[in-house]
Amino acid sequence: MGRYVLQRLLLAIPQLGIVSVILFVIMNNIGDPLAIQMSSQRPPTGAELQVMRRRMGLDKPIYLQYVYWLIGNDWTTVDVNGNGDPSTFIQGQRKGILRGDLGTSLTTHQPTQQRIAERLPNTLLLMLPTYAIILILAFALGTFSALHKYSAWDNALTSWAFIFYSMPVFFVSLAMIYIFSTAFHRWGLPYTPIAGMFEVGEEHTLPNLLRHMLLPVASLAIISAAGLNRYVRSSVLEVMNRDYVRTARAKGLRERYVFGIHVLKNAALPLITIVGLDLPFLLGGAVVTERIFAWPGMGQLFIESIGTADYPVLMGILMLIAVAVVVFQLLTDLTYSALDPRVRLAGARG
């Protein structure tokens, strides 16, 4: 197993290299950061624009910018005016992502690590409880539907799943805002806040935070649980018709034991892949939901960075997700091997 893990980690290195090249080229072509930043200010002169480009390293070819971003460029000296005057030289140090430096934001001039570190806890605070609720709802309702297939309850849950899974998240979010905030306030009922993590001047307490989390969590959970519920139902029904389940029943084992040990364990295997693919993207936040509810997380940061063409921050977020995908896929394979001996033996032979 150790050899298998080492092989996967070594294979991840060229994969992340290819991903980083593709992302770097795309992010560097989403717009001119200087043009966007100066659009609301006094238009710079040609000399000033040249100085700013040299300060940011944007005057270099894109392949050289990628090399600086990747491995750094120690103590580079730039003659910003091009006249050879030492008083106008600028010195700086680029460490590169391989040495733990994700670069500096082009808009706030803060380290990219700092900007991500400010928003990542807020995203995890929103997404982890949401995903836990999604898994509990989907597994409970999907299992219930499978055990009562073609019943009135199964038809009702199937209708709920198709209706909400077909709805875009922005529609569900806005509908919840209208009902539970605007309408409830008009009717004199307790209503929910719709923006941010806390109201201005409000104490930063857990009850206040939970009130602000209610609508974004519900918007995300109701849609995702509806889709995952169908996977759970199909997986449980498929396993219940397997030969080894019939054999266990023929041996006289209790139905509760058969269902808990033979059915649920094996029905969970296909879901591990889905969960393993979803978990890395929790780090990126919910872009639309965070935007609608003004939640200061990674999704909101990503939208803000796109608007200002702040590609160091964009690259930091995307590479964080890319690394998380590699790590969680490895954890998914290890979980597979723990639940299914056939996978473990195949991994040992490989």
Contact 313, 33 (CB under 8 A): no
CB 225 within 8 A of CB 133: yes
In the predicted model, what is the mean pLDDT of residues 111-126?
90
pLDDT attached to residue 311:
84
Percent of the chain at pLDDT above 70? Answer: 84
In this structure, the answer to whether residues 126 and 256 fall within a common structural domain is yes
Domain assignment present for residue 1? The answer is: no
Task: Examine the pLDDT at 97 and tell me if it is beyond 70.
Answer: yes
229 in a domain, yes or no?
yes
177 and 52: one domain? no
Asked if residue 50 and residue 119 are part of one domain, the reply reads no
51-65, 186-200, 233-247, 269-283: which has the minimum mean pLDDT? 51-65
**117 and 71, same structural domain?**
no
For residues 208 and 267, what is the distance between their CA atoms, to the nearest angstrom?
A: 39
**Is the confidence at residue 345, as pLDDT, over 70?**
no
User: Is there a domain that residue 28 lies in?
Assistant: no
Whether residue 330 contacts residue 323, with contact meaning beta carbons closer than 8 Å, is answered with no
Q: Is a pLDDT exceeding 70 seen at residue 153?
A: yes
pLDDT for the residue 286: 81
What mean pLDDT is predicted for residues 2-24?
84
Q: Is the pLDDT of residue 91 over 60?
A: no
Model confidence at 67, pLDDT cuts 50, 70, 90, reads: confident
What is the reported pLDDT for 204? 81
Looking at residue 88, its pLDDT comes to 47
Tally of domains within the chain? 2
* DSSP codes, 33-79: HHHHHTTTSPPPPHHHHHHHHHHHTTTS-HHHHHHHHHH-EEEEEEE
Residue 80 has pLDDT above 50, yes or no: no
Supply the pLDDT for residue 78.
47
> 27 and 314 in contact (C-beta within 8 Å)?
yes
Q: What is the dihedral of CA 220, 273, 317, 322, to 10 degrees?
A: -170
According to the model, what pLDDT value does residue 252 have?
A: 81
What is the per-residue pLDDT for 254? Answer: 81
- Residue whose token pair is 């299992």: 143
Q: Where are the alpha helices (DSSP H) in the chain?
A: 2-27, 33-37, 46-56, 62-71, 112-147, 152-165, 169-177, 184-186, 206-240, 243-250, 255-257, 264-278, 287-292, 298-307, 311-339, 341-349
Q: Kindly report the number of other CB atoms within 10 A of residue 226's CB atom.
A: 23
Q: Compute the distance between CA of residue 269 and CA of residue 344 in angstroms, rounded to an integer.
A: 13
Domain assignment present for 38: yes
Q: Is residue 340 part of a domain?
A: yes
Q: Is there a domain that residue 10 lies in? A: no
How high does pLDDT run on average in the chain?
80
Question: Are 165 and 294 in a shared domain?
Answer: yes
Q: Distance between CA 334 and CA 314 in Å, rounded?
A: 31
Q: Which tokens hold the place of 293?
A: 């509810």
Q: What is the pLDDT of residue 175?
A: 92
Residues 94, 118, single domain; the answer is no
Per the CB < 8 A criterion, the answer to whether 191 and 211 are in contact is no
User: Same structural domain for residues 191 and 46?
Assistant: no
State which residues form the domain around 61. 34-101
Answer yes or no: is 94 within a domain.
yes
pLDDT of 41 reads 56
State the Rg of the chain over Cα: 26
Domain boundary, last residue among 47, 74, 101: 101
Lowest mean pLDDT among 205-214, 238-247, 264-273: 264-273
Domain membership of residue 155 (yes or no) is yes
State how far the alpha carbon of 199 is from the alpha carbons of 192, 202, 211, 214, in Å: 11, 5, 10, 14
Q: Out of 42, 76, 101, pick the residue that ends a domain.
A: 101
Whole-number Å distance between alpha carbons of 328 and 235: 22
* Overall pTM > 0.85: no
- Same-domain pairing of 97 and 126: no
Q: Answer yes or no: do 154 and 83 share one domain.
A: no
Please name the helix (run of DSSP H) or strand (run of DSSP E) that holds residue 89, with its range, or none: strand 89-94
Domain co-membership, 207 together with 265: yes
- Indicate whether 251 and 345 sit together in one domain: yes
- Spell out the residues 6+ positions from residue 184 whose beta carbon is closer than 8 angstroms to its own: 190, 191, 192
Rounded-to-integer distance, Cα 291 and Cα 207, Å: 22
Residue 169, both tokens: 């998240």
Residue 147 class from Cβ within 10 Å (0-12 exposed, 13-18 middle, 19+ buried)? middle
92 lies in the same domain as 215: no
Residue 271 belongs to a domain with what CATH number? 1.10.3720.10
Last residue in a domain, options 57, 75, 101:
101
